[in-house]
Structure 1
Amino acid sequence: MSGRSVLWPGQDYDPDPAPPPGDRAVPDEGALAERLTEAVAAADAPDVVFALSRAGRRLVRCGGTAPPPALPRQDLRYEIGSATKSFTGLLLTELIRRGVLTGGERAAVLLSAENVAQASRATPAHLVTHTAGLPGLPRDFYRRGLTAWTTNPYARYPAERVVDAFLRYRPRREPGTHWHYSNFGFAVLGHVLGAATGVPWEDLVVEHLLGPLGLTGTSLRPGDTDLDATGRRKDGVTPTPAFDPGGFQAAGAVRSTPHDLLTFLEAHLRPGDTPLAGALRSVRRPVLRRGRGHLEEDTVSWFRHPTGGGPLYFHSGATLGQQAFLGFRPDVGTALVAVCTRRYRARDPFVATAYGLLADL
Structure 2
Amino acid sequence: MDHSRTVGLLGTDDMWRERLERAVGAVDAPDTVFAVSRAGRRTLHCGGTAPPPPVPRQDLRYEIGSASKAFTGLLLAQLIQRGLLTGGEPAAACLEPGRRTEADPVTLAHLVTHTAGLPALPADFYRRALPAWRTNPYGRYPAERVTDAFLRHRPRHRPGTRWHYSNFGVAVLGHAVAAATGTAWEELLGAHVLRPLGLSGTALRAEDPKTDAVGHGKDGRTPTLAFDAGGFQAAGAVRATPHDLLTFLEAHLDPAGSPWADALRAVRTPVLRRGRGHRHVHTMAWFRHPTNGGPMYFHSGATLGQQAFLGFRPDTGTALVALCTRRFRARDSFIATAYALLAEE
1:226-281 deviation line (CA, Å, top 9, x unaligned): 01000001111111000000000000010000000000000000122222111011
* Deviation of the 1:213 alpha carbon: 0.3
Task: Tell me the equivalent position of 1:298.
Answer: 282
Asked whether 1:89 is paired with 2:76, we answer no
Task: Tell me the equivalent position of 1:284.
Answer: 268
Task: Tell me the equivalent position of 2:223.
Answer: 239
* Deviation of the 1:119 alpha carbon: 9.8
* Deviation of the 1:115 alpha carbon: 5.0
> Is this contact kept in 2: 1:212–1:275, CA < 8 A?
no
Distance in 2 between residues matched to 1:195 and 1:294, nearest whole Å:
35
Task: Tell me the equivalent position of 1:55.
Answer: 39
Query: Superposition pairs for residues 211-250 of structure 1, below 5 Å?
Result: 211-250=195-234
> Is this contact kept in 2: 1:120–1:171, CA < 8 A?
no
Give the aligned residue type for 1:288.
L
> Is this contact kept in 2: 1:289–1:296, CA < 8 A?
yes
Distance in 2 between residues matched to 1:322 and 1:295, nearest whole Å:
28
> Is this contact kept in 1: 2:70–2:285, CA < 8 A?
yes
Asked whether 1:112 is paired with 2:99, we answer no
Distance in 1 between residues matched to 2:103 and 2:144, nearest whole Å:
16
Name the SS of the counterpart of 2:298 in structure 1: strand
In the alignment, which of 176, 193, 199 is matched to residue 192 of structure 1? Answer: 176
Give the aligned residue type for 1:38.
R
> Measured at CA, do residues 89 and 269 of structure 1 come closer, stay the same or move farther in structure 2, by a change above 3 Å?
same
> Is this contact kept in 1: 2:279–2:290, CA < 8 A?
no
Give the aligned residue type for 1:87.
F
Task: Tell me the equivalent position of 1:70.
Answer: 54
Query: Superposition pairs for residues 335-346 of structure 1, below 5 Å?
Result: 335-346=319-330
Distance in 2 between residues matched to 1:185 and 1:173, nearest whole Å:
14
Give the aligned residue type for 1:315.
H
Task: Tell me the equivalent position of 1:326.
Answer: 310
> Is this contact kept in 1: 2:12–2:42, CA < 8 A?
no
> Is this contact kept in 2: 1:113–1:167, CA < 8 A?
no
Task: Tell me the equivalent position of 1:14.
Answer: none
Distance in 1 between residues matched to 2:97 and 2:236, nearest whole Å:
25
Name the SS of the counterpart of 1:70 in structure 2: coil
Decide which moves more: 151-160 or 269-278. Answer: 269-278
1:3-51 deviation line (CA, Å, top 9, x unaligned): xxxxxxxxxxxxxxxxxxxxxxxx9911110010000010111100000
Asked whether 1:169 is paired with 2:153, we answer yes
1:295-316 deviation line (CA, Å, top 9, x unaligned): 3211000000000000000000
Distance in 2 between residues matched to 1:137 and 1:99, nearest whole Å:
31
Distance in 1 between residues matched to 2:75 and 2:207, nearest whole Å:
23
Query: May I ask how many residue pairs the two structures share in their alignment?
Result: 335
Query: Superposition pairs for residues 132-151 of structure 1, below 5 Å?
Result: 132-151=116-135
> Is this contact kept in 1: 2:286–2:297, CA < 8 A?
yes
In the alignment, which of 220, 236, 255 is matched to residue 252 of structure 1? Answer: 236
* Deviation of the 1:292 alpha carbon: 3.0
In the alignment, which of 212, 222, 247 is matched to residue 263 of structure 1? Answer: 247
Distance in 2 between residues matched to 1:292 and 1:162, nearest whole Å:
34
1:144-183 deviation line (CA, Å, top 9, x unaligned): 0000000010000000000000000001100000000000
Distance in 1 between residues matched to 2:93 and 2:197, nearest whole Å:
32
Distance in 2 between residues matched to 1:170 and 1:118, nearest whole Å:
11
**What is the identity percentage for the equivalent residue pairs of Structure 1 and Structure 2?**
70
Decide which moves more: 115-124 or 235-244. Answer: 115-124
> Measured at CA, do residues 301 and 337 of structure 1 come closer, stay the same or move farther in structure 2, by a change above 3 Å?
same
* Deviation of the 1:57 alpha carbon: 0.2
Give the aligned residue type for 2:227.
F
Decide which moves more: 67-76 or 287-296. Answer: 287-296
Distance in 2 between residues matched to 1:112 and 1:120, nearest whole Å:
17
> Measured at CA, do residues 117 and 197 of structure 1 come closer, stay the same or move farther in structure 2, by a change above 3 Å?
closer
Distance in 2 between residues matched to 1:217 and 1:331, nearest whole Å:
28
Decide which moves more: 284-293 or 308-317. Answer: 284-293
Asked whether 1:351 is paired with 2:335, we answer yes
* Deviation of the 1:117 alpha carbon: 4.8
Name the SS of the counterpart of 2:332 in structure 1: coil
TM (normalized to structure 2)? 0.95
